[in-house]
Structure 1
Amino acid sequence: MTRIHRRLFAPLASLTAVLLLGTALTASADTLDTIRQRKKILVAVDIGAPPYGMLDAQARQSGSDVETARLLAKDLGVALEIVPVTGPNRVPFLLTKKADVVLASFSVTDERRKVIDFSDPYGVIPVVVGGPAKAPLKAFADLSGKTIAVTRGTTSDQELTRGAKEVSGINIVRYEDDATTNTAVSTGQQDYLAAAISVIPAVKKANPSRDLELKFVMKTFPYAIGLRKGDTALKSWLDGWVKANLQNGKINEIYKQYFGISLPADMLK
């Protein structure tokens, strides 16, 4: 997702703390009115997770989430300010109002729903395990005795942790952002990787000599726009915006541009 990859799994203790913070903020003023009065929307995007968010050859912000954020701001009739985030700090940035919304390959999970709300999904992302082409790896059990890299706080981390519970001898190395994780694999520090499916070609592009390939899918997640609980007017507007731009094909065009495939047909109805 990288960004495919576009995104917060946290330990239970951290989730509890964030839940308390989220509850304290739900009574805040409606964010949609704030955005319109400010004439600018603050959108959190992970710029270190291509193809969702990245810097192009001219050091300009680009990626599927960046383009989607631009479309969102245009349709809302306000200026756009991108707020750079990483996987682990997406929820804290949202809850502390450093961002109005999050578009950062933000997979919809039960854990995240405890502390924030989501719009209707505007994309999908499989989280996968990758490894050397010659390695016989078809399931979590085959990771026994191996070291695998993952970005802390992502859905990849969540699913890898769950799968590893039933298997002894898996050494999980957690990095703080996608760029560091991808570098560790592309430079050969680790041979195995848990990530969004879009990371596999990105790592191979960074180092063509690496024979990394998709080994198995851990889980497929829809991803959506994250917003604070209690922002009912904003959620209603975002849901309508997502539906309209899926039906008119604009979101799908962005998805195809960066991932080379179309969104599932049932999302476009």
Structure 2
Amino acid sequence: MTAFRIAIVAALALTTGGAMAETLKVGIAAEPYPPFTVPDVSGNWSGFEIDFANAICAKMGDTCEITPTSWDGIIPALTSKKIDMIVASMSITEDRMKTIDFSDPYYNTPAVLVGAKDAPDYTGPDQLKGKILGVQTATTHQSYADKHFAGIADIKVYQTQDEANQDLASGRIDYVQADILPMTDYVNTETGKACCRIVGQVEADKAILGNGVGVGLRKGDTALKDKVNKAIADIRADGTYKTINDKYFTFDVFGE
């Protein structure tokens, strides 16, 4: 290597804090999940988590390559190195931590039940007796429903949240359980306003619902985990996170 080429390599290293920039494949769920991930007609993605992923990659001096992946295959895609990290509203749970690692939380919101406009406020599991409850497959909400509502409600599992919402709107099911943010977005759509409302939050169960949402990372990838955690702290400190937050929400989605 010539002295000139060595100098160029050294200069590039300095611009990235002593390490060469990487292109990181960021796994998101292939299904739309507004306001977190939303595709346009050309297949370009936008939303809170797209902006968040790009912001932390910029802080790390790396480039994000958004990689849509089916939700039920997103952890296998990570462990098989088809993607480098998951930014897909994945709750940090003990069960998932047996397979993958997580960054520090980057948002934390409760789970809610959504029913018909004339449905009563939620007061407890007995209210779902004889009702049909829709949940998305391979989510913490399915796990929660299986533990707390099995034998009470008829639990119907969907591949996507959109499918569950459609059946709720058409009256084919009585309730859905999901995160408050996308469901707030849904009940404010034209369809959602006509059919449905949030009837209440489910009781806390951190063992299932987790301790917030984190970036999913491969076991043992401590260097990337440290970089991601520092990037999250940095965008919180410099106001970048607040700018992204305020673009999509009227409150601090970071939570407690």
- Fold equivalence (TM over 0.5): yes
Equivalent residue number for residue 227 of structure 2? 237
Q: CA deviation at 1:102?
A: 0.3
Residue 240 of structure 2 corresponds to residue 250 of structure 1: yes
Q: State the SS of the aligned residue for 1:88.
A: helix
Q: CA deviation at 1:39?
A: 3.3
Where do residues 31-180 of structure 1 align in structure 2 (5 Å cutoff)? 39-47=22-30, 48-56=32-40, 60-136=44-120, 137-165=122-150, 168-180=151-163
Identity across matched positions, percent: 28
Q: 1:256 to 1:162 in 2, by over 3 A?
A: farther
Equivalent residue number for residue 27 of structure 1? none
Structure 1 gap ranges (5+): 1-35
Amino acid at match of 1:251: Y
Q: 1:193 to 1:170 in 2, by over 3 A?
A: same
1-side partners of 2:190 and 2:29: how far apart? 19
Q: CA deviation at 1:265?
A: 6.9
TM-score (norm 2): 0.81
Equivalent residue number for residue 252 of structure 2? 262
Please tell me whether the aligned partners of residues 150 and 181 of structure 1 are also in contact (alpha carbons under 8 angstroms).
yes
Q: State the SS of the aligned residue for 2:223.
A: helix
Deviates more, 1:210-219 or 1:99-108: 210-219
State which of 199, 203, 206 in structure 1 corresponds to 2:186: 203
Deviates more, 1:150-159 or 1:217-226: 217-226
Equivalent residue number for residue 223 of structure 1? 213
2-side partners of 1:57 and 1:253: how far apart? 26
Q: CA deviation at 1:163?
A: 0.9
Residue 180 of structure 2 corresponds to residue 190 of structure 1: no
Please tell me whether the aligned partners of residues 112 and 179 of structure 2 are also in contact (alpha carbons under 8 angstroms).
yes
1-side partners of 2:23 and 2:231: how far apart? 17
Q: CA deviation at 1:133?
A: 3.5
Amino acid at match of 1:178: Q
1-side partners of 2:238 and 2:145: how far apart? 36
Amino acid at match of 2:148: G
Give 1 or 2 for the bigger CA radius of gyration.
Answer: 2
Deviates more, 1:148-157 or 1:37-46: 37-46
Q: Give RMSD over aligned pairs.
A: 2.2
Amino acid at match of 2:245: Y
2-side partners of 1:179 and 1:93: how far apart? 23
Q: State the SS of the aligned residue for 2:66.
A: strand
- What are the superposed Cα offsets for residues 163-210 of structure 1, whole Å, 9 maximum, x if unpaired? 114xx3411110112232222223333231011112323333150311
Please tell me whether the aligned partners of residues 122 and 251 of structure 1 are also in contact (alpha carbons under 8 angstroms).
no
Amino acid at match of 1:109: T
Please tell me whether the aligned partners of residues 252 and 263 of structure 1 are also in contact (alpha carbons under 8 angstroms).
no
Q: 1:57 to 1:260 in 2, by over 3 A?
A: farther
Q: CA deviation at 1:242?
A: 1.2
TM-score (norm 1): 0.77
Q: CA deviation at 1:56?
A: 4.2
Deviates more, 1:226-235 or 1:135-144: 135-144
Amino acid at match of 1:118: F
Equivalent residue number for residue 17 of structure 1? none
Structure 2 gap ranges (5+): 1-18
Amino acid at match of 1:161: D
